[in-house]
Amino acid sequence: MRKIINSVLHGLAAVFCLLLAAAAVCGCAGMNGAAGKSEKRQKEEMAEKMERRLPEEVRREQIGRDTAVAAMDQFVAKFYVVSEDGAGAIVGEQFWPRAEIMEIAVDAWEKTSCPQYRDLIEQMYLGFVKDHGEDWSDNEYNDDIIWMTIACARAYQADEKDVYKEQAVKHFNLVYERAWSEDLGGGLFWRTDNKTKNSCINGPAAIAACLLYQITGEPDYLEKAVSIYEWQCENLVGEDGAVYYAYDFENGINQWCSTYNQGTFIGAGLYLYQITGEEKYLDNSVKAADYTRDIMFEAGVMNTEDEGNDLPGFKGILARWLGKLVYEGGQTQYLEWMEKNAQTAWRNRNSSGIMWTRWADQTQDTFYTAWGCSAAVSQLWNCLPPADYEGSASNQANP
């Protein structure tokens, strides 16, 4: 009997060791990945980490990682295709929406550290250059190029493939050289016709320059980031934190505000605060975030920007940079509003788990664009802390 018991115990020990080895591989689920630990234990460990890391005021029920993974899985299943050569594409979308959806894959990596999302980033990059080439200079929209520049720079931070950094450096330099002018005191032109200087190029370009400073250590990029940001502050940002659309040479300043311009201005200020430690940058980001939440949406659910080809995905850009302000800038006062929007969008998903950009309305079982459905996926991811989150710190983004 004792021999039998010992045999059983040895067998159980062997099985247990195999389970531990499997768990060590990743522990990531979703996107066809297998869970390395039991679902219950994963949730317990995540809860323990959240309890240790989050400030007291945000230790409460949040959008969980499982929800974000499920939303990502459903989005990928609906809109994403991979060819035999490993190149991935978003069905029906072209240049800049594909760059922004690639950023959602980067968001997923930052929130989970799961290799499957690094693979997704690479597939999306390969699909992008397959369709648009490795030289994007023929695109007359400077902002289009800068969106992909940001995606590549962030991809390099996630997975240090030289091609990502090379593309980011090459195309930021291209845009800056052709778009910066001293007309109106500085700033970047939106398009190559040089008629308007818009927030949609200057905010993202300041972010791109900060990222390039981080990944190259070259001070010239920080100088450019500051110059671009200061010009935008002086010309396209109100005292109340409103980020205006454009400065038109013929018609003056267009004061229309949108979520993506608010978002990139928030992100640029956050990066400059982290790099320099100067409080004015963080103050500007907070003021812009306050304006977005309290004036544009009265702390309610964002249920606008659903028309045309571009607007429906804007809110996903706001989500990214506002989420970074929460977790990297320590501004946790926005998390409750972010979660309200994420929870509402998720409750209103359709039978396929897809969420259209009118988050307060039920998503129907009909055709929607991938771009317009990507914003909610970004919102869910960016309610979550980064996988290595240990609280905010000034200067943490220094190279």
d(CA 297, CA 339): 14
| Residue 396: predicted pLDDT | 39
Report whether pLDDT(153) > 90.
yes
Report whether pLDDT(48) > 60.
no
What is the mean predicted confidence (pLDDT) over 211-232? 98
d(CA 190, CA 187): 10
Pair 383, 339: CB distance under 8 Å: yes
Report whether pLDDT(69) > 60.
yes
Write down the residue that tokens 């991979």 correspond to: 82
Q: Which amino acid is at 105?
A: A
Partner residues linked to 188 by β-bridges: 180
Q: With helix as H, strand as E and coil as C, how does the chain read?
A: CHHHHHHHHHHHHHHHHHHHHHHHHCCCCECCECCCCCHHHHHHHHHHHHHHHCCHHHCCCCCCHHHHHHHHHHHHHHHEEECCCCCEEECCCCHHHHHHHHHHHHHHHHHHCCHHHHHHHHHHHHHHHHHHCCCCCCCCEHHHHHHHHHHHHHHHHHCCCHHHHHHHHHHHHHHHHHHECCHHHCCECCECCCCEEEHHHHHHHHHHHHHHHHHHCCHHHHHHHHHHHHHHHHHHECCCCCECCEEECCCEEECCCCHHHHHHHHHHHHHHHHHHCCHHHHHHHHHHHHHHHHHHCCCCCCCCCCCCCCHHHHHHHHHHHHHHHHHHCCCHHHHHHHHHHHHHHHHCCCCCCCCCCCCCCCCCCCCCCHHHHHHHHHHHHHCCCCCCCCCCCCCCCCC
Report whether pLDDT(50) > 70.
no
What is the mean predicted confidence (pLDDT) over 110-130? 98
Q: Which residue has the higher pLDDT, 397 or 198?
A: 198
d(CA 203, CA 265): 5
pLDDT tens-digit series, residues 279-337: 999 999 999 999 999 999 999 999 999 999 999 999 999 999 999 999 999 999 999 99
pLDDT tens-digit series, residues 347-385: 999 999 999 999 999 999 999 999 999 999 999 999 999
Write down the residue that tokens 């919102």 correspond to: 379
Pair 174, 208: CB distance under 8 Å: no
Report whether pLDDT(228) > 90.
yes
pLDDT tens-digit series, residues 128-141: 999 999 999 999 99
pLDDT band at 49 (very low <50, low <70, confident <90, very high): very low
Report whether pLDDT(1) > 70.
no
| Residue 29: predicted pLDDT | 58
What is the mean predicted confidence (pLDDT) over 75-86? 97
Say what the pTM is: 0.85
pLDDT band at 25 (very low <50, low <70, confident <90, very high): very low
| Residue 36: predicted pLDDT | 42
375-392 burial, b at 16+ Cβ within 10 Å, e below that, comes to bbbbbbbbbbbbeebeeb
What is the mean predicted confidence (pLDDT) over 137-162? 98
User: What residues contact residue 146 under an 8 Å CB cut-off, 6+ apart?
Assistant: 171, 172, 175, 201, 204, 205, 208
What is the mean predicted confidence (pLDDT) over 238-266? 97
Dihedral angle over CA of 362, 368, 369, 371, nearest 10: 10
| Residue 114: predicted pLDDT | 97
| Residue 26: predicted pLDDT | 43
| Residue 271: predicted pLDDT | 98
What is the mean predicted confidence (pLDDT) over 198-207? 98
| Residue 265: predicted pLDDT | 99
Backbone conformation region of residue 296, classed left if phi is above 0, alpha if psi is from -120 to 50, else beta: alpha
Report whether pLDDT(236) > 50.
yes
- Please compute Rg for the chain using Cα positions: 22
